[in-house]
């Protein structure tokens, strides 16, 4: 914002700036934005601010202007025309520019983003960040810094792109003891699983299609092995439970080990396979469980209907009951929309000399995956001969894992046994799997699928 201070606002807006608004909305001010990064999301934000400026001013009285943009490469072609004078390679100069009131960070990665954001907050400038890697690793440190400097650090775009989830968890549901948040928070894997489920495609063919369409990276590891979803789960758990949870606390299994045959079995039994990110809190012990793994979701559960590259997050709360948030979890425009919502919010707060409350973050014990319980589906390719079922079920029994459903599919060389267990401890199930792998009559142990109760 420009000075001198206006009687309307504590933080200062000039007379000139107040005249700029022709709307009937309260005239708050001219907020100057420093943008760090102008890739996919940054360029989409520049376009959105330009397109929506009149509507934003009419509704809020804010005039947003992007005044400085830091980029890595000045000569690179961009999706949006940016006046050359706005661009610089020196991101620190953007943060420290007295003509920048609010900083938007969309460069990704931990450094220099952490250093730049810390600098901006210390200078009393609100920050909007879309950086999940940063927030999943040092988020609580940055939120605490924002709180101590009395400014906003908002991060709607870091989790589930365009879906308004973080504000709902942080503000709307502040009065709720949230028990569990469970979501499809990676569009690439949801696209791949949808192809495998609906078209019977094998994993490698579905991945190749996702890569052709630009959903999956050339190196798809972060998406398909659950790291991307894990980072989002860490941020969700931190915000929901006021806890210090980092990406390294999240147990993750990906989808690369799942076959079309296992998905078909799940489908026949009334389930659809989804890669779920789960954050839950045990209200008795205070333990927090954070994990990402493929799961069998009953067909009647709302998450089962989330197809293609869409994301959705299902929240179990108390008085509000079950809630589901659905939409585009990635892509330039949806993500920029989330950034813009935060930018307006942070700018309004700045103009009014206030800021939101990030909350406090305390250490909670993290529940080891071995201590979690679930029902499991396990498929085994086996020799088709008398006594095999007896040998196999004996292994389950030795580890105290009770079987709810057992059936044989195929015969002779195609024989496969499929089991669904009653609720069992992960440690017992893993011990069962290890022993089954050593049985002569078991040719292959398939991917393990945890069953989500309806």
Q: What is the DSSP string of 131-166?
A: -HHHHHHHHHHHHHHHHHHT--EE-GGGSSTTS--H
Stretch that binds ligand HSE, among 186-194, 257-265, 293-301, 373-381 (CB under 6 A): 186-194
Six-digit token pair at 185? 């928070």
Give the SS3 label for residue 31: strand
Give the SS3 label for residue 24: coil
Q: What angle do CA 44, 46, 51 make, to 5 degrees?
A: 90
Stretch that binds ligand HSE, among 84-92, 182-190, 239-247, 340-348 (CB under 6 A): 182-190
Going by C-beta distance under 8 Å and a sequence separation of 6 or more, which residues neighbour residue 425?
370, 371, 372, 373, 400
Q: Does 330 bind ligand HSE (CB under 6 A)?
A: yes
Closer residue to ligand HSE in complex, CB, 145/273: 273
Say how many residues touch ligand HSE, by CB under 6 A.
Answer: 8
Taken as a whole, the chain contains a residue count of: 454
CB of 315 to ligand HSE, least distance (A): 19
Stretch that binds ligand HSE, among 180-188, 403-411, 422-430, 440-448 (CB under 6 A): 180-188
Stretch that binds ligand HSE, among 22-30, 181-189, 266-274, 283-291 (CB under 6 A): 181-189
Question: Is 357:35 a contact under the CB 8 Å cutoff?
Answer: no
Mask 274-313, x = binds ligand HSE (CB under 6 A)?
Answer: ----------------------------------------
363: closest CA among 244, 279, 237, 242? 244
Q: Which residues does residue 272 pair with via DSSP β-bridges, in sequence order?
A: 297
CA of 308: how far to CAs of 192, 194, 324, in Å? 8, 6, 17
Phi, psi of 448 (to 5 degrees): -90, 130
Q: Does 188 bind ligand HSE (CB under 6 A)?
A: yes
Residue 274 annotated to the active site:
no
Q: Which of 57, 223, 225, 345 binds ligand HSE (CB under 6 A)?
A: 223
Question: Is 380:436 a contact under the CB 8 Å cutoff?
Answer: yes
Residue 218 CB: number of other CB atoms within 10 A? 5
CB of 126 to ligand HSE, least distance (A): 23
Q: Does 226 bind ligand HSE (CB under 6 A)?
A: no
Phi, psi of 175 (to 5 degrees): -90, 10
CB of 187 to ligand HSE, least distance (A): 4
CB of 252 to ligand HSE, least distance (A): 14
CB of 231 to ligand HSE, least distance (A): 8
Question: Is 293:426 a contact under the CB 8 Å cutoff?
Answer: no
Question: Is 228:158 a contact under the CB 8 Å cutoff?
Answer: no
Closer residue to ligand HSE in complex, CB, 32/293: 293
Closer residue to ligand HSE in complex, CB, 131/197: 131
> Which is it for the CA torsion 138, 141, 145, 150, positive or negative?
positive
Q: In what helix (H) or strand (E) does residue 129 lie, and over which residues does it extend?
A: strand 127-129
Stretch that binds ligand HSE, among 56-64, 185-193, 247-255, 295-303 (CB under 6 A): 185-193
Q: Does 186 bind ligand HSE (CB under 6 A)?
A: yes
Mask 231-260, x = binds ligand HSE (CB under 6 A)?
Answer: ------------------------------
CB of 330 to ligand HSE, least distance (A): 4
CB of 159 to ligand HSE, least distance (A): 8
CA dist., res. 423 & res. 376, Å (int) = 8
Stretch that binds ligand HSE, among 25-33, 146-154, 184-192, 384-392 (CB under 6 A): 184-192
Phi, psi of 88 (to 5 degrees): -150, 160
Cis ω on the peptide bond leading into residue 422 (within 30° of 0)?
no
Cis ω on the peptide bond leading into residue 112 (within 30° of 0)?
yes
Q: Does 230 bind ligand HSE (CB under 6 A)?
A: no
Q: Which of 187, 220, 294, 379 binds ligand HSE (CB under 6 A)?
A: 187
CB of 127 to ligand HSE, least distance (A): 19
Q: Which of 105, 228, 262, 345 binds ligand HSE (CB under 6 A)?
A: 228
Closer residue to ligand HSE in complex, CB, 238/421: 238
Distance of CA 189 to the CA centre of its chain: 13
H helix and E strand count, the chain: 14, 17
Catalytic residue among 125, 132, 195, 232: 232
Closer residue to ligand HSE in complex, CB, 254/329: 329
Closer residue to ligand HSE in complex, CB, 56/297: 297
Catalog residues that contact ligand HSE under the rule CB under 6 A. Answer: 186-188, 215, 223, 228, 329-330
Question: Could you list the active site residues?
Answer: 232
């Amino acid at each position: 914002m420009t000075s001198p201070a206006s009687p309307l606002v504590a933080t200062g807006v000039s007379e000139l700036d107040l005249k700029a608004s022709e709307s009937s909305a309260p005239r708050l001010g001219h907020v100057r934005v420093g943008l760090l990064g102008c890739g996919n999301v940054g360029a989409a934000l520049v376009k959105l601010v330009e397109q929506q400026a009149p509507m934003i001013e009419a509704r809020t009285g804010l005039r947003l202007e992007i005044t400085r943009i830091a980029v890595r490469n000045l000569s690179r072609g961009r999706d949006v025309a940016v006046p050359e004078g706005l661009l610089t390679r020196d991101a620190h100069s953007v943060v420290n520019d007295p003509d920048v009131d609010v900083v938007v960070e969309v460069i990704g990665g931990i450094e220099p983003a952490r250093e730049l954001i810390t600098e901006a907050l210390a200078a009393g400038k609100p920050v909007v960040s879309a950086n999940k890697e940063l927030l999943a690793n040092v988020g609580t440190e940055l939120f605490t810094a924002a709180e101590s400097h009395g400014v906003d650090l908002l991060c709607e775009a870091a989790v589930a792109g365009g879906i308004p989830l973080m504000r709902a968890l942080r503000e709307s549901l502040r009065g709720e003891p949230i028990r569990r948040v469970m979501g499809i928070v990676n569009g690439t894997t949801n696209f791949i699983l949808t192809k495998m489920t609906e078209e019977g495609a094998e994993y490698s063919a579905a991945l190749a299609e996702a890569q052709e369409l630009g959903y999956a990276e050339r190196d798809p590891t972060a998406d398909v092995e659950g790291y991307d979803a894990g980072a989002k789960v860490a941020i969700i758990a931190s915000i929901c439970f006021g806890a210090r949870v980092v990406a390294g606390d999240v147990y993750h299994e990906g989808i690369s080990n799942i076959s079309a045959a296992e998905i078909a079995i799940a489908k026949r039994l009334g389930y659809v396979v989804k890669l779920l990110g789960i954050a839950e809190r045990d209200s008795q012990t205070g333990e927090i469980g954070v994990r990402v793994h493929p799961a069998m979701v009953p067909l009647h559960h709302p998450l089962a209907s989330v197809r293609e590259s869409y994301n959705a997050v299902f929240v179990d709360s108390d008085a509000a009951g079950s809630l589901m948030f659905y939409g585009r979890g990635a892509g330039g425009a949806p993500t920029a929309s989330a950034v813009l919502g935060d930018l307006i919010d942070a700018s309004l707060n700045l103009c009014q000399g206030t800021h939101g409350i990030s909350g406090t973050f305390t250490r909670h014990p993290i529940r080891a995956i071995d201590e979690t319980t679930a029902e499991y589906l396990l498929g085994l390719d086996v020799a088709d001969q008398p006594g095999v079922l007896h040998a196999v079920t004996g292994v389950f029994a030795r580890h105290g894992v009770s079987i709810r459903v057992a059936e044989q599919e195929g015969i002779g060389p195609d024989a496969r046994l499929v089991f669904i267990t009653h609720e069992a401890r992960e440690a017992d199930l893993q011990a069962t799997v290890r022993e089954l792998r050593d049985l002569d009559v078991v040719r292959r142990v398939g991917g393990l699928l945890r069953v989500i109760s309806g």
